[in-house]
A and B are shown apart, each in its own frame.
Chain A
Amino acid sequence: MSPDISLAHYWPFAVLCAVALVAVVRLLVRETITLQGSISFGVFLVVFLVAALLPERALDVARAMGFTLLSNFLFALALIGLSILHLRGRVALSRADLRTVQLTQELALLEERVRRLSGER
C-alpha cells in the first residue's frame, strides 16, 4: 500500500523550517551570527524546506536510500545533520577557547611588563 504523500501532510513542517530560516536570516542581518558560522545551518533548513514542499520527490530519494517512510528519512536526516552541525560548533568553540587562553596569557604578561616599566620610571 503506497502511503498518501502530499504537501497537505507536510505543511506544518514546511512552516517550521521557513520560520527557522527567517530566524537565521534575522540573526545574520543583526550581525549576531556570521555568514560563515550559519551557512551550513541555512543549507540544512533549505534541504528540509524543499523536502516538505516536494514530498513526492523526497520520498523517491528516501526509497533510493532504503527508507520506506518519508518521516523516518527526515528524522534520520535531521539527526545526522544536527550531529554534524553540533560537532562543527564544538570545533569552532574549542578554537575560540584556545585563542582566548593565549590572548589572556599575553595580556597578563604585557600588563605585568607595563607595571614594572611604570615602576622603574
Chain B
Amino acid sequence: MTCDPARPKPRVLAVIPAFNEEESLPALLEEFRVVGPSLHCNLEVVVIDDGSRDRTSAVVSAAGVRVVRHCRNLGIGATVQTGLRLALREGFDAAVQVDGDGQHPPGEIARLLARAALPDAPDLVIGSRVLTCRGHQTTPLRRFGQVWLSAWLRLVCGAKITDPTSGLRLYGRRALTLFSESYPYDFPEPEVLAVAAARHAVVVEEGVEMRARQGGRSSIYGLKPVYYMIKVTIAIALAYLRHRGRAALPSLSPVPQPGAFHVP
C-alpha cells in the first residue's frame, strides 16, 4: 500500500463483525459515510452479521451497506475470517477490522493506513490504545489482562505488543492470505499475534483513540474473564508451536478476478 498521490488509491475493505448490534451500528455506519471519503483509500464497508437475533442485518441494509449474514452464530473469530476471505477474493489491498459496538472511531483508520504505507510495509497494523493513553481506557482488571498477555506473547513468541486485545487492526494482503486460511475462532485477537509471529509476519502498532462501547454488552462478563485468561494463555503457546514449523508468510497471490469463488 502506498500514499504516493501518483499511484492509485488502495482498495480497503472495512470489516465490521457484529452480533446483536442493532443499537450501535446505525451511528457507526453514519460515521463511516462521513469519514470514508476523507481517507486516502477506496474504502468499502461490509458488516458480517454473526447470526444476530435482533435487527442487525435489517439496520445495515437500511443504511445501504453490504451485509453478509451467518445463518448461525459462529463467534468473533469465524466472523472476522469471513470478512477477510471476502476481502481476499474480491482483490482488496487490505482489510480493516472495526468492532461493531462503536468502540473504534472510523477516523482512526487513517492512522493505520498511514502506518501501513510506510516503507517497512507491515502485514498487520494493530491500533493500540496504550500507546496514546487518550480516549476511553479499559478497566484495571482488563488492563492487568493486557499486561499479562503482552508479557506472555513476548516470552513465548518474542512479539512486542502493548495492546494484544485490540480489535482495531489492518491486515495487508499477505496477512489476508494467511488468515483467510487459518484464523483462531475463540477469543482470537492475542492468538492471531502468536500466529503472525510464528509465520514471520511484520506486525507493528499505531497509537489510536478508542471509545467506550456505544451499545450492547461485552461477550466477556461474569466468570468468563478467568476462562478467557486461561484459554488464551494456553492458545497463544499452542498457536505458536503449531505454526512455528511452517513456512513464512505465503507470497502474494495474484488478485483474483471479481466474482471468482471457491467452495472447499
Contact = CB atoms under 8 A, between A and B. Distances in A.
A104 B86 CA distance: 14
What class of interface size applies to chain B in its complex with A? 20 to 34
Nearest to B86: A109
A113 B86 CA distance: 10
Interface string A93-110: 000000001101111111
B88 to A, nearest CB: 11
Interface string A103-121: 0111111111100100000
Contacts of B86: 109
B263 interface: yes
Interface in B46-82: 48, 66-72, 74, 78, 81-82
Contacts of B261: 109-110, 113
Nearest to B51: A104
A108 B264 contact: no
Nearest to A98: B185
A109 B87 CA distance: 11
A109 B88 CA distance: 12
B210 to A, nearest CB: 28
Interface class of chain A by DSSP: helix
B85 interface: yes
Contact of A112 (B66, B74, B263): B66
Nearest to B264: A102
Given A109-B261, A112-B67, A112-B68, A104 B85 contact: no
With most chain B CB atoms within 10 A of its CB, the pick from A107, A109, A110 is A109
Contact of B74 (A105, A109, A116): A105
Given A102-B264, A110-B261, 15 more contacts: A101-B74, A101-B78, A104-B74, A105-B82, A108-B68, A108-B69, A109-B68, A109-B82, A109-B86, A109-B89, A110-B263, A111-B69, A112-B66, A112-B69, A113-B259
